[in-house]
Every structure is written in structure tokens, then in C-alpha cells.
Amino acid sequence: MVGMRAFISYSHKDGAALERLHTHLATLRRDGLLEAWFDREILGGSEIDAEIAAELETCELFLLLVSPDFLASDYCVEREMQRALERHEANEARVVPIIIEPCDWTSSPLRRLKALPHDGKPVSEWTNANNAYLDIVKALRRIVQTRDAEPAEEINATVASQPTAATSERRYRVKRDFDQIDRSEYRESAFATIRDYFQRATAEIDSIEDLRGRFASRSPTTFGCTIVNRVRDRGTAHITVHCANGYGGFGDIYYSFSENAGENTAQGGFSVEADEYEQFLSGGTLMGFGQERQRLSPESAAESLWAEFLDQAGVTYD
């Protein structure tokens, strides 16, 4: 297999993100699957616009490092992104948005495309950015290994493979019914997502001066964490999180801010719910009973619960 040639479009203000992505792409380059090109490859004395124009016409893959600075750049959006999307819609290339920082990308033409990392969550919002880049690299490896697939297959499943002027601004959703097996699988997947988030985040806490963190997987359906804030009296926080074997009064996934909490106690929980289109988590602390229940993805539930747990130890993060 001949490696795909990828054009990386980015704002120069996001140079650090470019460098980190380039580092994580090393395995794909070493395996001969991907050859990444960006404007730093232009040699001294070359005509910059001519070099970029040539790559825009020949690259098979476009990686757009999307951020507020990217969207504010006329050159990135009106020159590079526009031409990349034209070739994508003509099935001549594939465009992959990589969301680096929170920004209004869903109001741009990129909203039709499946963004990376997972669920389009910005790299800057991952507890460990390396996990975000790993998710990106794994997705790119799948793309390269299935390079004969239509580029438009990465468009949200409800959008036609070759949008017309009338349909390119629409996003279609398909109604479906969810049975108990769907619910059970979603519950287990959501619990795994929350558990993995806490394990990564606890390891990160443990590497910070004056903080200690410990993660313990107590069973396939239970985990616990402890954080010690050494500079605060009573700066120790515990949490125990359970995945229900079936629907119970506490929810499908429930938790207590205590160490080794039993399965018969809870201070909050999340329930698996669904509308006509998709499943999601709903819930929060039991003390918030009567308040409007939030609609959450597993990732946002994990982040919300982690922030609440940190607060128990007198710790916050940006």
C-alpha cells in the first residue's frame, strides 16, 4: 500500500498543536501509511502560494486543525478549507476536521463532517491531550487502511454522499426504537467511559505537586478513587462508582462520595434514557431532585462528575 499524502491546514498560532500531532503521526509515517505535508516543508526560495496550490490539488487527505484562530484566518478558511471541501464533495479527497480548541466550528460547513477526536471534543478539553491525539491517530489509521471507501462516508450518516446546494445545509436524523439490550450495552459502555476517564485523570492528579491520587478497580462493575490535597486540612476526597446490573432506584450508574461505598447507597446517579433518535445519560446528585435533569453524553457525565469529585478535595481545574 502506498502511503496517503496528507495536507495539514492550520493557523500558525496553533503551532504547538501541529508539532504534537506531527509527533503522534510518527507511527503512521514509519509504517509507510501516511506522508504529512504542511507549509513548513516549503524550502527557502520557493514560491509559497504556488507550492500550497500544488499540494491542494494533489493531496488525498486534508487534516484541518480547527480552532478560533483557524476559523479567523481568511487564508485557512477561504483558500485551504474551501478547496479541500470542493475536492471532498467531488470524491477526489477526504477532509477530516481535528478540533483543537473550543470554537464555533458547528456553524461552518465542517459541521457536516465527522470530526476528531471522539465526538468532536476539543483536544484542549481532554484530561490528557496524549489520549486525544491517540484517538485521532487510530481514526486516521482506519481511514488510510480503507482508503478506497468514499470520502463522503465520514459525513454524518444522514447526509447524502454528494450534497447539492439544497441539501448541504441539512442534517437528517433517523428515528429508531431502543430495546433492553440497547440500554444494557449503552450502560456498560458509558460506565467504561467514566471509569477510563477517572483512571486517566487520577494518574494526572498524582503527578502534580501537593496532590496525590489513587484509582482502584474493585470489580467489573465498581471502581473507586481517592484524592489527597496535602495543603488543605480535610483535603481528602473519596468516590465509589457502581454500574447497576439492572435498573435500580439509584440509576444505571450511581456514586457515593465515600470510600468502599456499598451497592445499596448513593448520593447521585445517571440513568440511561432515550428519545426517538439516540440514547443518552440523565441525572446528577440526588440532592438536586426536582431540578431540570441534564442530558449528557458519557464523556460529559464523566467530566461533570470528576469536577464535582475534585471540589470535595478543594481542587478545581480549567
Q: Which helix (H) or strand (E) holds 309?
A: helix 298-312
Residue with cell string 505535508 = 37
What's the confidence (pLDDT) of residue 40? 53
Q: How far, CA to CA in Å, does 281 sit from each of 170, 188, 266? A: 26, 12, 17
Whether domain 4-154 has CATH 3.40.50.10140: the reply is yes
More confident residue, 106 or 51: 106
294 backbone dihedrals φ, ψ, rounded to 5°: -80, 150
The Cα–Cα gap between 192 and 212 comes to 23
Domain boundaries defined on the chain: 4-154, 180-312
pLDDT digits (tens, 9 = 90+) for 210-244: 899 999 999 999 999 999 998 887 789 999 999 98
What's the confidence (pLDDT) of residue 153? 41
pLDDT digits (tens, 9 = 90+) for 244-276: 875 456 789 999 999 999 988 899 999 999 888
Its pTM stands at: 0.49
Name beta bridge partners: 228: 212, 236
Residue 116 clears pLDDT 90, i.e. is over it: yes
